[in-house]
Structure 1
Amino acid sequence: MKLRILPSLLALFFISLLVAVSCTPSPQTSTSGNSAATPTNTKPIQFGFSAWPGWFPWQIAQEQKLFEANQVNVDLKWFDGYLDSINALRAGQLDANTQTLNDTISSVAAGSDQVIVLVNDNSTGNDKIIVREGINTIADLKGKKVAAEEGTVDHFLLLLGLKKAGLTQADIQFQPLETGAAAAAFVAGQVDAVGVFAPFTTKALSRPGSKELFSSKDFPGAIPDHLVVTRQLINQRPQDVQALVNTWFATLDFMRENQAKAYEIMAKRAGVSVAEYQAYDAGTKIFTLEENLQAFNPGNNMTSLRYAAEEISKFLVESGLIKQAPNLNQIFDDRFIKAYAAKQKS
């Protein structure tokens, strides 16, 4: 579920914004500035994020001091490995983290008390299964070496694709590797296929003859990405959770009004050129306020988070990624989205 540690988020992405208004821990880096400049004396919220087009905007929030503008003290920590950020939240080393729905369900199933308070985006193509030359169908993966970060989002995507073709993980030679390492192994010719997310897709596709076999675009609504916080943070500091949500929408406003600067900041954090980053635009759909409100409502398809959670939970159990489905009744809390929406109307 979670191992997406991060193509085309931003052309369509910014257009949508204009219209509407993704073991041994790898190094983590604090990107915060001088905490003395923060307009609050409370203990900093330990906030993790990692490589994914829908989460790079948090770097903008940091650099443009939007956390401070919304009166919240945040120590924003960058994780080179997505799974490490997930494990850090589970271990109580973080108060908040950026995570997919399936990875959050897995954490809750493992006993972690986590709550989704915001939808950042939906993956619409930036999670990919990339294959070498000669592999043309999912059925062609049978017996082949396929790498992905075990138990993460692109492992989840791989299993979805296999199931669609009537296969299971037992039909392939699964190679569990951290996302960056998986991309490198694929480029080096050590595996036949790889499950990666942007920006690691760029590296994987640099292998001559490689191509996308399928992506999250083929499974609409299966990979939503979120701001996830501990229940303890909600109980003890609800005003700061609200401030995090407010900061997100302030960041989207900044991106809409300062597109060139926003691209520059996000591309730098991603370690790619602005042109390369813009290629990710169509693969990530950033959610507007209205889309957030709709997503938290009950429904009977994958556009509803509650419905999606039930379906994903069943799949995770069937695939052996979790032992039993967790109680999903308290995994979502839309009060902060609703409060922000009410404030915009007043």
Structure 2
Amino acid sequence: MTRRNFLALSAAGVATAPALLSTASRVRAQAKTIRVGYIADYFGTSLTAIANDQDLWAKHGLEPELKVFTNGPIQIQALGAGSLDFGYVGPGALWLPASGKAKIVAMNALGLSDRVIAQAGIGTMADLKGKKIGVPEGTSGDMLLRLALAKAGMQISDVEVIKMDPSTVVSAFASKQVDGAGIWYPLVGVIKKTVPDLVEVAKSADFYPANSFPSAFVARNEVAEQDLEAVKKFIAVLKDANDYRAADVPRSVEITAKFLGVPADPFVTESQNGKYLTTAELIAATKDGSVASWLKGLNEQFVAFGKLQNPLDPKDYYLGDLYAGG
């Protein structure tokens, strides 16, 4: 190659670079901005983190503004206030879509991390009769406690329920202020460090699949009704991220920890207590009524809690046809 040819090619490259940058800028400018909420744990962050790591937002024409929240109900409030477009909620907050506060656009994972734990010497649910049990009200831990009591032929009035936030459950159980607790991993693992001889008297896997603890992604009602294109693109991102996670959960743990800037160890335990269906499996579960069954099971629990009196039918708040047909 002569010096003249080299200079000519170099000049052509310089001339082309602005055009390439301009094209990338146009693509980004054309991307639709959406506001997305997440919760800083493995279940609540993993798909969002994967979407970032694998550049899935841009792939599907979206530009996300990501916002972290401490729980699902606050996200539902943000959706209602118009300050959030999409969010993530755990099973304990799914009574809100069931009451018409939001639309479910995609299922996330089935949580198997909940436990009813007891102090050493207490081996069964029957042994907890009349005992003090700490539980975060309206959570999946609360749901599991009620299911386990019913299975043992007991009622919630047969135990002394003490309503606590999750961190208080940890300290109260560790200091033996309560005899039992309805709580979940990774918090059970935290408690075990102080109380290694605790007994797991019930676990969510005991009730699967008749009673499942699904988490989900939700959309603001107005977005679901007025911006179907944005919903479809968001679902497409979730589907890709979901299959990436299902294929390599350990790698997704690393990505999630890096995204949140925290150690991966707690997420390893959390990730091992979930069931991750592929997108194809979630579509099949949507079509055969399994997802509706999960949601109806939760609704029955919410009615028992007194959260709801007349929950909506899942077909009225889960956009299953859109998820399965997209």
Which of 133, 139, 152 matches 2:120? Answer: 133
Which of 202, 214, 234 matches 1:224? Answer: 214
Distance (whole Å) between structure 2 residues aligned to residue 320 and residue 295 of structure 1: 28
Gaps of 5+ in 1: 1-35, 341-346
Q: CA deviation at 1:273?
A: 4.4
Answering whether residue 165 of structure 2 is matched by residue 165 of structure 1, we say: no
Gaps of 5+ in 2: 1-25
Q: CA deviation at 1:49?
A: 3.0
Aligned residue type for 1:176: K
Give the corresponding residue for 2:161: 174
Cα distance change of structure 1 residues 268 and 213 upon mapping to structure 2, 3 Å threshold: farther
> Alpha-carbon deviations, 1:171-222, whole Å to 9, x = none?
2221222223322332233322222233223212223221322111011132
Give the corresponding residue for 1:61: 51
In terms of mean alpha carbon deviation, does 156-165 or 173-182 score higher?
173-182
Answering whether residue 96 of structure 2 is matched by residue 107 of structure 1, we say: yes
1:146–1:191 contact (8 Å) kept in structure 2: yes
Cα distance change of structure 1 residues 308 and 50 upon mapping to structure 2, 3 Å threshold: same
> Alpha-carbon deviations, 1:122-164, whole Å to 9, x = none?
12x3122222212210112222222222112221111111111
In terms of mean alpha carbon deviation, does 330-339 or 39-48 score higher?
39-48
Cα distance change of structure 1 residues 147 and 309 upon mapping to structure 2, 3 Å threshold: same
2:133–2:161 contact (8 Å) kept in structure 1: yes
In terms of mean alpha carbon deviation, does 87-96 or 126-135 score higher?
87-96
Would you say how many aligned residue pairs link Structure 1 and Structure 2? 298
Q: CA deviation at 1:284?
A: 0.6
Cα distance change of structure 1 residues 83 and 117 upon mapping to structure 2, 3 Å threshold: closer
TM-score (norm 1): 0.74
Give the corresponding residue for 1:322: 308
1:52–1:197 contact (8 Å) kept in structure 2: no
Relative contact order, higher structure (CA 8 A, sep 6+):
1
Distance (whole Å) between structure 2 residues aligned to residue 42 and residue 184 of structure 1: 45
In terms of mean alpha carbon deviation, does 92-101 or 240-249 score higher?
92-101
In terms of mean alpha carbon deviation, does 251-260 or 87-96 score higher?
251-260
Which of 109, 130, 136 matches 1:143? Answer: 130
DSSP 3-state at the match of 1:287: coil
Give the corresponding residue for 1:120: 108
Which of 178, 181, 185 matches 2:172? Answer: 185
Give the corresponding residue for 2:296: 310
2:287–2:324 contact (8 Å) kept in structure 1: no
Give the corresponding residue for 1:95: 85
Answering whether residue 63 of structure 2 is matched by residue 73 of structure 1, we say: yes
Cα distance change of structure 1 residues 80 and 312 upon mapping to structure 2, 3 Å threshold: closer
Distance (whole Å) between structure 1 residues aligned to residue 98 and residue 245 of structure 2: 36
TM-score (norm 2): 0.78
Give the corresponding residue for 2:199: 211
DSSP 3-state at the match of 1:247: helix
> Alpha-carbon deviations, 1:225-274, whole Å to 9, x = none?
21121221112221221222211232245447776653223245678744
Cα distance change of structure 1 residues 116 and 83 upon mapping to structure 2, 3 Å threshold: closer
Alpha-carbon RMSD across the aligned residues, in angstroms, is 3.0
2:133–2:180 contact (8 Å) kept in structure 1: yes
Aligned residue type for 2:86: A
Cα distance change of structure 1 residues 250 and 326 upon mapping to structure 2, 3 Å threshold: closer
DSSP 3-state at the match of 1:73: strand
Distance (whole Å) between structure 2 residues aligned to residue 252 and residue 59 of structure 1: 11
Q: CA deviation at 1:314?
A: 3.0
Q: Which structure has the greater CA radius of gyration? A: 2
Which of 142, 148, 153 matches 1:155? Answer: 142
Cα distance change of structure 1 residues 47 and 58 upon mapping to structure 2, 3 Å threshold: same
Q: CA deviation at 1:278?
A: 2.8
